[in-house]
Each structure stands twice: as structure tokens, then as C-alpha cells.
Structure 1
């Protein structure tokens, strides 16, 4: 019997790990890796800033970054130390320039776009791809997908937990994603509700979390073989449903942040056995230099923490090669779709007014819809799904009509405003800290106009007005951060 060295690693768990660990890896190295602090990592949000521009800024801030080999936008943070700077409170993070994401968590989306730059999800092959993220909260992978797509096409981001939908929306909004729609379902409904609909699907399945013990020592507190077996049954149902929702020729990524074969290889094998003529593994050995160190015989990536000094993870890439018999048609009432298209002169008037306010969008990719006095921008690629399932939220709320015109919404400014507009006003480190702290500002040099798009590092962060000698703070109260600070760690 393996003796546990930490309360977070039960002996039964260590025995199970020892049974499945490849011969070239040792249990002692696994335990040592699990007990080391997890390296911090981030992903540059290329919807807001290029990687090269971000690296230039990071150098000015005194940050030392190391490239993550499987994600060209991903970096480990070598310095500054967490005691010097809380990355989540930096104005660059609050402005959406980067996303705090564990390095292994970047693998599934990298696998989704593997060898597809000129294939499945490219603009040339699929001008408006549809992607489903089955278990999307808190939004790490949804925002990563949106960035790789350049906000092209449409993403259905589903989250089963009601309490996490709000966090998912907050992260999507902060990062300037405008091609998503949120749903709140048990992921097992999609195969029947939307058969053969999506060009690509990511199923980052709910799991026992064996791989995240470095970040969360309590992750294994309720671990047991029984709970693992129960989760595996849910995962098998989820992957079958996802496969039904995938178009023939499409790619399904199955991933977990756990390590046992029951929730990983066996889940994939059940899908392969169920659809032997329609499902094929696409090996990931060439995904990045060093991928072979985590490659299984079948071509999956089984990442033990000591291999890349990261969290544990599992990633499989599966191709749907043929149509499969559909599931029974579900019996549920979607309800009447509560929006109508904005068309004709009204569409022209809204567009003109928005452009004058500095808001721009691609009319091929986005459509104007309205509900009562609300104006919304919906991804055109998702319009075929309207009336088929119920959405919690679609696209972005552009404006509210009122007697004198339109009241532009903060999420629309963050996603759509032109940072080079004539009335754009760039904030210094000190002023941007005041903005995120919810305080009015009194700059030495006042802008000339009354209304302005505020920017930071050439990205829009809000719309406000000059009132006398001050800039009025219009940041939504739920986004105020008392501890907001610049990148050097000192309050502005």
C-alpha cells in the first residue's frame, strides 16, 4: 500500500496513479510536483492587443515571461513575485489585455485549432464557423476560442451551474468577445436539440479534478473510487451527446483536469466503440515540441504534473467522419423568440448614431436586433439557432433607446469602440487606476470634447463625459475594484 505523504493525496488515489503512470515517470516525482506551488501563467488576449505589443509592455513593467510551448499567446510569469503584485488587480488584466489561465488549461483549444489554420475553422474553408463549448465557465477556453477566431463566426458557451453563468459573462465581456451566446443547460441536451450543427465542439468535462491539487489542496478532499465512477458515467453521456451535435467532418476535443483512465481514456473508448465507423482519433504528438513526452499509445495527451511542471490534464482530439443516426427529438417548449430584426431606415439610424459614438462592427458578422427599448448585436452565424434552444444571453447589448437618442452600453464600448476615434482619450496609469477604483478624475490636461471613449494601451475601457474640470466615472459598480493598481505594483 502506498503511504500518503499529504492529506491532499489519499493512499487509494496514489495507488491508482501508480497503476496508470507510464514506466518512464516515477510516483516520487509525481508527489513532489503536486506539493510544489503552481507556476503562474497568463494568456495574451489578442482581441485587445498583439502578443508582440504585450511583450513590449511587459518588458517596460519589469515582468519576466517564459513562453508556453503549446500556446503562442501563453506565458509563464517568472517575475514579479505574487507578494509584489496581484495580477488580477492590475489595470492590464481589468482592461482585458490578458487572461489569467493555467498553462495546461490552454491545451484543449490549442488542440482544437491543431493543423486547422488552413482547414476546418479558417475563414477560407468556413467563413462563419459554429463552435460549442459545452462546459464553459469561467470562460478561459471560450475567450481563447474567440481570440483564435478573431470574433468570427459564433460560439455557444454553455454552463450548467447557474451561479457560474454570471462569471462566464463577466469574463467574456471584459475580453471584448462579441460572437458568443450563453446557454444554461445540462450538456446532455445538445445532441438531441441541435443535431449535427457545430463545426467544432469543446467538451472540457466536469471531473474529479485530480490534476488541480497544486492550485487547490482541497480538490481531493472528497475523492473516492465511487465518485470517480459516477462522474465517468456523466462524462460518457456528455461525449455521446456532443458527438451527435457535431457536423460530419467536425472535430470534438474531449478534455479533463483529472488523471485517471476511467474519466479519460475509457470515456473516449466508449465513444469509439459506439460509433466505430464514424469516429476517429487524431493523434496530438506533433501539437508542440515535447508533446511526445505526454503522448499515449492511442495519440491522446495525458499530462502528469511533473512532465511540464503544470497542472495535470488530459486531451483527446476526435474527428466525426460520417453521419450517425439521430437521437429522438426532444420534447420541450423553447418559447417565442423575444427579439425582432432592426431593418430599413431604423437600422441605418442606429448604425449611424453608433458610428458617431465611435462604435463599429462588421455588418456581415453582426446583426441588429431589438426588444422593447433595447438594441442588441447578435452574431449572424448563430441566427439559424434562434427558436431551437433557449438562450440566457446572445451577443452584446448595444444600447437602450430613450427620448433623446441612445444610451450606449459599457459592454458594447469595451467590445466595439474605436480606440482611434476623434473623441478617444488615453488614460495614464494613475488615471486608469482611478477609473477602475470607481473615482472621478481631474486630469491636468482636459479633453476638449464633452463625451469621450476612454482608452488604456490603445484598447477601449469605457464611455464617459467631461463635467467641468473632471472626468465622470461611469464604470458599472459591479466592475469597481478598490485594489486596482498599475503593473509595477504600486497604487497610482
Structure 2
């Protein structure tokens, strides 16, 4: 068994009683690896038809699968097409359990690196608004990259404290996910380094921080809206203790039941206030399920929500519109110019939400970055490519995932095309098995590679 902190083990033995030996044995089991299908780009059924991996369904995740580590899905072209996200199976549970409808306004308050935000965005299906925030700038950059890879086009990525966000978004969101920073006890089996940093003061430290975060989150939730709170720790003070704090201090918040699964554990046997409502909370233990430790609680705010405001109309100048029209004549659908925002020659497609009054907030991206206006031309961006389907653009280079040119493209190399592939000059959407990877420009029988340097493979 891995070396675990003695005071952690003592508390877990008190919590679990006769189940404690089974809990200890679970630390000798090999960890499971998970893959979650991006339903914003492909259905689960279609993905299973084309998948080259050895997959087994994760029973409690509709679009989640265990995969064989030897498959190395992070190096397959489908990963770079954004067809799936690699995520620990239990960590898939909060976003999977959260019912999101297209058109809703959704906030992932502690979102980096994007495992849950990408699933929330996929559920919106391009409608409504996703705000994804992280207080760490470096982690927020990773979050942005993953949302771009997933083709999420109706999002805003912010880098703010919850308190600052609350000033800008009072009672604004239909749904809020708070996957709170925590002591990480549920990840000890996955990453022993987390256990090495643990001491008995960490649960109380994070418990205080979580109360501050949840207070701000509740203020941003619409009446009638729902909030899902989750952690990856076993500590009662950070789990049932936090929910007790909410129920005692925010009478407008009601604890709801989550969908059941036979491996879910309800509430904590050692939480001492005997509130029967806490039985609606869900715990995931590694000796009950094939995943790491997790906690979930779903709450609803009393009242009735009002309809969302849409973004104000904006108009590009005539010269910019002309350059955009020239490029977008190759698109199967017209561009909605009422949502185009041009800043410093960068062109953005704004989300539906009214975000016009956000001056002073730190954000990495508001909407979808379409590309840049340069002298006499428009150059499309990588995030724009990832937001498209192959049918959206007229000029296509579609390569089989087994074609060696795919990996060469992902490394930034120039490609040689055959005559059929090079029948049209200019911008082309480069795809693999029908799924976009990025842009290239055809000159003669050569494809000039426009895959951005920061996205390229280096092995």
C-alpha cells in the first residue's frame, strides 16, 4: 500500500468503520484512465464506430469510457481534432450529473484546466453562454486552450476572484458549477505527491476558502437556478460541513437529490449534526467504484428566473466587412454581423449574453476568436477552425487518420498534395476523417501549413 498520512488514515477509519479495510485495499488497485466523448462534435455512437481504442463504458457516465493506457489516445489525430477529453472517471461525474440545456447561462467558477467546463460547453451545443473562470492566469490559459480545442464558441474565459466576478454578475446565471479547491484527499491514489503535501490543517484551511467561494457563487445564481458543488476530497468539513453552512446561512437554498447509481454513497456517517437532508449528498469512494474519491451536492435557489438578455448589436466598418465577406463567401452559412466585435484588428464572434458592461474585468477571451484583419485580407484563427464542421467550409483537405501527412501537418510541416486535393487554391480547412484540425493554404500542389506554433506536436 502507498504511504499515506497517519492522521488521514485514522480519520478515514473513524468515518468508514468496517469498510475501512476495503478502502485500504483499494490503494493497491491500479488506477483507471478515462476518456470523455465531445458530444459537441460527434455522437457517442459515431465515435464508437471510428474509435481505434480498447474502450469499456464507465457505467455512470453516458459519454465516458475507460481506456487502455497502452492505447495512448493523447497522441492520436482524433485528440487534436477535439473529439474527446482525457479525464479521471470520477472527475467526470459533476458535469455529467448537472443537467444543462442549450440557451442557458452557465458558470464554471473554478474551471481550469477545463475537464468540467468542456463538458458544460458541449451540453450547451453552441447556444446560451458559458463563463469559465480561474483565479490562476497560467491555469486559465490552459482552460482557454481546452475550450478552443473542444470547439466551444459561446464562452468567456475570465481570470478573476469570485468576489470580483460577483460584482459584475449579480443573479445572472441559470446554472453554476463550483468544483472547489480542496485538500485533494481523493487523489492520493492517483498522485502520491498530493498525499505528501497533506497535513491535518489543510481541511480547515480549504473549508474556510470554500465558504468564501460558495457565498459569492450563490450571489451570482438566479432565483430558480441550480448550483452543483463538488470536491475531490473525503474531508467532512469540506463536504457535508460546507453544505451545512449553506443550509444554515442561506435559507433560499434547497438541497436536491442527484441521480442514483449503485456505487454512490449517500452522505457521511461521521458528520455529527444529524441533518437528514445531507443524505442527498453523494460520495464516491474508490472501494465502491472504479474511480478516485469525489463529493457532489446539488442545490436550488428559491424563486423564478427571468429571461436572459442577449448581447447588443455591433457593426464592423465597411472596409472590415468587405474583407470578412470575401473570406466568408466560402462558408455554407452566412456570418451574423450583429455579433462581430473587432478589437485591434482581431475579430471576435460574441456570445449571446449581454457582456457589454464588463469593463474592468480580467478576461482572456470573450467569445470565439475568428481571426485577424491584415492588409487586404482576413486570416482565420485556429479556434475558428476547431469550432467548425467539415460541411461548413467549401474548400477542404480531408486526410485519413492513418495518412502520415496528418502527423506531419500537426508538426507544422508543409504538405505535398495530389492533383485532386489541390484543385482549388487559397485557404482550406484541413480535416482528418471529416473532423477539422486547422487551416492550410494551397499554392500549386503544396499546402502551406497554418497550424499555429503553440499547438504543434514536438515528438
- TM-score using structure 1 length: 0.83
How do 1:23-422 residues align onto structure 2 when only pairs under 5 Å count?
A: 26-58=19-51, 61=52, 63-77=53-67, 79=68, 82=69, 84-113=70-99, 121-123=100-102, 128-276=103-251, 278-284=252-258, 287-290=259-262, 293-296=264-267, 298-322=279-303, 341-343=314-316, 349=322, 352-358=325-331, 360=333, 363=336, 367-383=339-355, 386-387=358-359, 389-416=361-388, 418-419=390-391, 421-422=393-394
Tell me if structure 1 keeps the 8 A contact 2:386–2:438.
Answer: yes
Tell me if structure 2 keeps the 8 A contact 1:20–1:261.
Answer: no
1:316 to 1:408, Cα distance in 2 relative to 1, 3 A:
same
Shift of 1:20: 2.0
Q: Which residue of 2 aligns with 1:17?
A: 12
Tell me if structure 1 keeps the 8 A contact 2:283–2:294.
Answer: yes
Higher mean displacement: 171-180 or 182-191:
182-191
Shift of 1:194: 2.0
Tell me if structure 2 keeps the 8 A contact 1:69–1:288.
Answer: no
Give, in whole Å, the separation in 2 of the partners of 1:137 and 1:201: 15
Paired residue secondary structure (1:218):
helix
Tell me if structure 2 keeps the 8 A contact 1:71–1:106.
Answer: yes
Give, in whole Å, the separation in 2 of the partners of 1:255 and 1:450: 51
- TM-score using structure 2 length: 0.89
Shift of 1:108: 0.8
Tell me if structure 2 keeps the 8 A contact 1:419–1:459.
Answer: no
Structure 1's consecutive aligned runs of 4 or more residues displaced over 6 angstroms after TM superposition are none
Q: Which residue of 1 aligns with 2:270?
A: none
Shift of 1:417: 5.5
Paired residue secondary structure (2:339):
strand
Paired residue secondary structure (2:78):
helix
Alignment partner of 1:442 is 2:423: no
In angstroms, what is the RMSD of aligned CA positions?
A: 2.4
Give, in whole Å, the separation in 2 of the partners of 1:207 and 1:220: 13
Tell me if structure 2 keeps the 8 A contact 1:354–1:360.
Answer: no
Tell me if structure 1 keeps the 8 A contact 2:330–2:394.
Answer: no
Paired residue secondary structure (2:175):
strand
Alignment partner of 1:453 is 2:429: yes
Q: Which residue of 1 aligns with 2:443?
A: 467
| Unpaired stretches in structure 1, ≥5 consecutive residues | 114-120, 324-338, 484-492
Shift of 1:197: 1.0
Give, in whole Å, the separation in 1 of the partners of 2:443 and 2:323: 26
Q: Give CA-to-partner distance per residue, 1:51-77, whole Å, 9 cap, x none.
A: 11110012xx2x232222332111111
Higher mean displacement: 385-394 or 252-261:
385-394
Give, in whole Å, the separation in 2 of the partners of 1:96 and 1:67: 19
Alignment partner of 1:432 is 2:422: no
Shift of 1:17: 1.1
1:215 to 1:354, Cα distance in 2 relative to 1, 3 A:
farther
1:361 to 1:196, Cα distance in 2 relative to 1, 3 A:
farther
Shift of 1:363: 3.8
Give, in whole Å, the separation in 2 of the partners of 1:360 and 1:188: 40
Q: Give CA-to-partner distance per residue, 1:263-285, whole Å, 9 cap, x none.
A: 11101110110012x0111011x
Give, in whole Å, the separation in 1 of the partners of 2:432 and 2:417: 15
1:385 to 1:457, Cα distance in 2 relative to 1, 3 A:
farther
Tell me if structure 2 keeps the 8 A contact 1:195–1:246.
Answer: yes
Q: Give CA-to-partner distance per residue, 1:157-194, whole Å, 9 cap, x none.
A: 10111221111111111111111111111223333442
Give, in whole Å, the separation in 2 of the partners of 1:37 and 1:102: 13
Shift of 1:28: 1.9
